[in-house]
Structure 1
Amino acid sequence: MLGWALILGFVSGSLPFSVWLGQMFLSKDIRQIGDGNPGATNVFRAGSWKVGVVSLLLDYFKGVFPAIISYWGWNIRDERLILVMMAPLLGHQFSPFLGFRGGKGVATTFGVWTGVTLWEGPVVLGFLLAIFYCLLDHDAWSVIFGMIGLLLYWLVKGATGEIYGAALANLFFLLWTHRMALNGKIGVKFRKKDPNIS
């Protein structure tokens, strides 16, 4: 069953919904916009928040469905879960539909944690991301610190080894996909207060 779970996860994650929707509804290649990332952020940048929201949800659910099926349906709950949770993320990053290139995987990260932990993982991660986004003047570092926070949350809670292992693997994955944005920016800056706000 592990083999089918990995295939399902990788194929689901590899579906480049944002690129397809950008071509179909905006007549644009979103990989030519912004940072060149084939994800929902560049659909928003292309000028359509409606298509952007749909793209974001589809990138999220392509992580949710294989995780739910594998964890709750096929009862994969041991160390194999690490591979199962990483499969959609690897599919997203190395999509055969895009010449084995892909996006950064933040929305899909939320999806796989929803599929396995239901509300807990995505709520904690979302809360931490919001805090770091408000504090730090660098979005990529906000993502990394948010994921480190989730890792520490599972450690303090005493989560099972496979959950902790999946969080650790997820952190390394996000470090890899954000490597260009983090390159040469070892330090972080706090966001400056708007002088017009008293």
Structure 2
Amino acid sequence: MRIKFYIWKKALMGVLLLGAAAISLVGLAWAQDNEGKDDPLSHLERRSIEISDPTAGKKDPIIEEIKAKAEANRKSRLHQKDQFNYTKEDLEELFEAGASIEDIYRSDQLGNEWLTDPKSLIEEKRSQNKSWASVEGDIKKQKETELAVLGKKHSKAQAAFKNQKISTAEKIEILQTLEEQGDTSLDQALSTYQTKGLKGLESMKRQGGERQ
């Protein structure tokens, strides 16, 4: 789901009794574009946030850097579709709460890279007065520690990961599934996650619980 923000300016000129003064009104609106875009490399639907400002003469280098990081991460994942996507209502709520355009882009990128709800990352940044570099560093450290613990318990899976294009966060999700389903479910977990993502693993866990 690609979401576009359209930012425009309207100028209204009024004449006062003793002179002329210019009055500008600034409006902000969002529009949602539901047409997907095929990734030429993966042939999978890419879901990302795109900002469009008709008054801008050039692209924002910070936003372009974030978009490049998001694209690079997609190519290194087993399941390449973004699994967290902001709705129009989410965006309205976040902007009303004071989120910036960079906050939206950065949280979307980090949320999909580390499989964490993007809105929770914005809240963490705001409530703890963190920079995005600090938020990213903390979640990276947390996930790598978690993977190290799980990896020691599932050496067979760790060996299998070497033959897969799979991210740290995805490895954790697979290993957490094995914690409930057992190591014999590794091939099924990898196949299910690759095609269906987190929802597929959640379904596996539910089915396993029903059989017990």
Q: Same fold (TM over 0.5)?
A: no
User: Of the two structures, which has the highest relative contact order with CA contacts closer than 8 Å and spacing of 6 or more?
Assistant: 1
TM-score by length of 2: 0.27
Bigger Rg over Cα:
2
Bigger proportion of residues as strand? 2
Greater fraction helix:
1
